[in-house]
């Protein structure tokens, strides 16, 4: 089955609660997502228009994660700080590690692009560190 990949990038802060070193501090990254989907080719010979991937999936990322703070929902102190200052934040039901974020984004892509088979999502936290979910 043919597949295609779209890259989506965003900037966000996070912290990993109870991390044994400096990642327990609030800090930011330039995240890069590589989303790969598969499906039957349309009449033009495409799995999906890359612009649709950008507007649908990338639009969700932009509205919910970009230039915000991604937090574990147990991180009440930082969530309160964000709320008091009117800063954008997104709560996860787990620590916002690259692995947990990749899993969340994979599931979100499946929800947003239901006519396609999401076969892989790679989330780069830095240019040399990433997590990948495949099915």
Q: Which positions are annotated as active-site residues?
A: 23, 67, 125
Query: What does DSSP assign to residue 56?
Result: I
- Cα separation values, 120 from 6, 9, 81, Å: 11, 16, 35
Report yes or no: 38 and 117 within 8 Å, Cβ to Cβ.
yes
Give me the sheet containing 89-92, strands edge to edge. 89-92, 68-72, 3-14, 27-38, 117-126, 129-134
* Inter-residue contact 5 to 62 (CB < 8 Å): no
End-to-end CA distance of the chain: 14
């Amino acid at each position: 089955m043919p597949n295609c990949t779209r890259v989506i990038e965003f900037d966000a802060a996070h912290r990993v609660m109870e991390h044994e070193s400096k990642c327990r501090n609030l800090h930011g990254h330039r995240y890069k997502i590589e989303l790969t989907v598969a499906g039957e080719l349309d009449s033009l010979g495409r799995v999906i228009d890359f612009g649709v991937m950008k507007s649908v999936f990338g639009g969700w990322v932009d509205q919910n994660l970009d230039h915000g703070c991604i937090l574990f929902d147990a991180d009440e102190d930082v969530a309160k700080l964000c709320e008091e200052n009117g800063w954008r934040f997104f709560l996860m039901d787990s620590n916002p590690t690259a692995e947990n974020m990749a899993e969340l984004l994979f599931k979100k892509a499946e929800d947003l692009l239901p006519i396609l088979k999401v076969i892989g999502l790679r989330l780069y936290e830095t240019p040399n560190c990433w997590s990948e979910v495949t099915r």
